[in-house]
Amino acid sequence: MKNLLIAAGCALALVAGTVQAKDWEEIRIAFDVPYEPFEYKTADGELTGFEVDLARAMCDELKADCTFVIQDWDGMIPGLLARKFDAIMSSMSITEERAERVLFSEPYYNTPGAWFARESVDVDVTDKSALEGMSIGVQRGTTMDNYVTENFSDVASVKRYTTADDMVLDLEGQRLDLVFVDFPVGEQTILSRDGYHQVGEPVKLGQGVGVAMRKRDKDLAAMVNKALATLKEDGTYDTIMEKYFAYDIKM
Amino acid sequence: MPEFIVEWLNQNDIFTAGTLLHYWDGLVTTVQLTFLSLLIGLVCAVPLAVLRTSRNPLVSGPIWMYTYLFRGTPLLIQLYVIYYGVAQIEGIQDTFWWEIFREPFYPALLAFTLNTAAYTTEIIRGAIMATPAGEIEAAKAYGMSWFLRIRRIILPSTARRAVQAYSNEVIFMLHSSAIASVVTIIDLTGAARNIYSRYYAPFEAFIAVALIYMVLTFTVVYGFRKLEQHLLKHLKPANG
């Protein structure tokens, strides 16, 4: 009898546990702003951008009540693991190192990295020796950072920035000769000014961008994957993409 | 390198030889930045503190203004203003100044030096003000000139009174230098941030760097204890 009671108690605890874990009526999603045009604030302070709109559509699809959290890039993964939020939709590229810490959904977009410089600077970025002695700006910890570090850090000096704003400021102040940044970000923040141009061809990097979640939340990942697949099928994804981009980033 | 360290490094994903080298470069930069700024700051602070005690407001006023400004604003803001502000000056890129200010090291050194000089000036000024009036009167009675009084009487006894407060300033400066990493300098903190973002291991990266800062701090504390023992020898009990 006693054993039965314990068994029943365990079963109950197990059921209660699973019920609680599967309950994804509320999802907290983190963004690092500004990262135009993926996530940024409009002049009146409203959060908007490609990923924000996509997150909204995804939440509608999941019938979930979503809260959007602003989080600095440096604290993204620790914040997720500390349960400050449940998912990251902030242009986080899928890499092996990150996949050891978090669970990625299927990729939902991929953009190339591209080189930008002042108009007076023009080099052949495929020729490593041409970059000798130059200073190259990247955002710390991005796939662009890894690419530049692996390929050019022995000839050029690589400077790492926390935000794209600081990096553009140093490009403007001529402390940097080149920056290597996500193409859409460069297009918005650098090409929109006078006197800057894109150098060379964009470089395809990595396995695309996915929603990052905690490793244990496999049920959430399954839901997110299903919702993203539906959005890609039914045209919602394309509508959102066309609102922000003149080219295809779908994946 | 001893065998067990090599073995430990081999089975460790984060603290590889490359990472340790990165920390080492960071350590060198932090030590250079901190101690150069402290040294230049101290050299500037001694005459500034003496002039700050002047009764003439035209002499002491500007120095008061300077220490008030630099002690009244955060060091991070001072660093931002100097680093980004200088680059915004029209045409500076074409002058020889740009050779200096292009690299982040010198704007940071300038900001740190100005900051520590302001604090050190006030520390020394306080110690000068506390000089017993009798000592000065005695020096005057011997017919010492102003300069001789400063050199022989006031500064040596000031050094004894200021050394404890100044050791705090040295430690604060060492810790404040961590903000150099926001202007792309790879100091100890910058190295830790790079390693963290490469391996996504905040605990390992930052705890390692905290330990290095602690070792540095204890070295400074030990050095100052020796200095105090030397300067304050006369205050020890006779049989102690």
pLDDT (average), residues A70-75 = 89
What pLDDT score does A9 carry? 55
| pLDDT 10s digits, A84-116 | 999 999 989 898 888 988 999 999 998 888 999
Residue B193 is nearest to which of A77, A98, A140, comparing CB atoms? A140
Chain B residue closest in CA terms to A160: B184
Asked if A97 and B102 come within 8 Å (Cβ–Cβ), the reply is no
Query: Of B126, B135, B114, whose CA–CA distance to B164 is shortest?
Result: B126
Measured between beta carbons, the chain B residues lying within 8 angstroms of A162 are 182
Distance from CA of B171 to the nearest CA of A (A): 27
- Most B CBs within 10 Å: which of A140, A144, A169, A177, as the mutation test of the B interface? A140
Across B111-140, b (16+ Cβ under 10 Å) vs e yields bbbbbbbbbbbbbbbebbeebeeeeeeebe
Domain spans, chain A? 23-110+208-244, 113-203
What pLDDT score does A2 carry? 59
What value does the CA radius of gyration of chain B take, rounded to a whole number of Å? 22
Whether the pLDDT of residue A1 is over 80: the answer is: no
CATH entry, A113-203, from 3.40.190.10, 3.40.50.1100, 3.30.70.270, 3.40.390.10: 3.40.190.10
DSSP, collapsed to helix, strand or coil, labels residue A96 as: helix
Distance from CA of A159 to the nearest CA of B (A): 6
Residue A161 is nearest to which of B93, B184, B200, comparing CB atoms? B184
Q: Which CATH superfamily is domain A23-110+208-244 in?
A: Periplasmic binding protein-like II (3.40.190.10)
Distance from CA of A81 to the nearest CA of B (A): 11
Asked if B200 and A172 come within 8 Å (Cβ–Cβ), the reply is no
Q: How confident is the model at residue A196 (pLDDT cuts 50, 70, 90)?
A: very high
Query: Of B99, B96, B103, B94, whose CA–CA distance to B33 is shortest?
Result: B103
β-strands A47-48, A40-41: how paired?
A: antiparallel
CB proximity B93 to A under 8 Å: yes
Average pLDDT value over all residues in chain A: 86
| Sign of the dihedral through C-alpha A102, A103, A105, A107 | positive
Measured between beta carbons, the chain A residues lying within 8 angstroms of B184 are 159-161, 170
What pLDDT score does A206 carry? 79
Q: Is the pTM of this model over 0.80?
A: no
What pLDDT score does B165 carry? 93
Whether the pLDDT of residue A141 is over 80: the answer is: yes
Asked if A97 and B200 come within 8 Å (Cβ–Cβ), the reply is yes
CB proximity B140 to A under 8 Å: no
- Most B CBs within 10 Å: which of A72, A96, A175, as the mutation test of the B interface? A175
What pLDDT score does B58 carry? 94
Measured between beta carbons, the chain A residues lying within 8 angstroms of B87 are 169-170, 172-175
Asked if B98 and A174 come within 8 Å (Cβ–Cβ), the reply is yes
Q: How confident is the model at residue A45 (pLDDT cuts 50, 70, 90)?
A: confident
Query: Of A56, A103, A91, whose CA–CA distance to A209 is shortest?
Result: A91
Asked if A98 and B98 come within 8 Å (Cβ–Cβ), the reply is no
CB pairs under 8 A between A and B: 42
Whether the pLDDT of residue A13 is over 60: the answer is: no
Q: Which residues pair with A115 in a beta bridge?
A: A180, A199
Is the separation of the CB atoms in B79 and B107 below 8 Å? yes
Whether A23-110+208-244 and A113-203 share one fold: the answer is yes
- Range 19-38 of B in CB contact (< 8 A) with A: none
Measured between beta carbons, the chain B residues lying within 8 angstroms of A174 are 87, 93, 98, 102
Strands laid side by side in the A135-139 sheet: A157-161, A135-139, A178-182, A113-118, A196-203
What pLDDT score does A22 carry? 53
* Token code pair at residue B239: 């049989």
Whether the pLDDT of residue A21 is over 80: the answer is: no
| pLDDT 10s digits, A146-173 | 889 888 988 999 999 988 888 988 998 8
Distance from CA of B239 to the nearest CA of A (A): 57
Whether the pLDDT of residue A16 is over 60: the answer is: no
What pLDDT score does A19 carry? 44
- Range 160-199 of B in CB contact (< 8 A) with A: 182, 184, 190, 193-194, 196-199
What pLDDT score does A17 carry? 46
Q: Which residues pair with A159 in a beta bridge?
A: A137
Is the separation of the CB atoms in B232 and B160 below 8 Å? yes
Max avg pLDDT among A173-177, A198-202, B71-75: B71-75
Asked if A98 and B199 come within 8 Å (Cβ–Cβ), the reply is no
Whether the pLDDT of residue A212 is over 80: the answer is: yes
**Low pLDDT (below 50) residues in chain B:** none
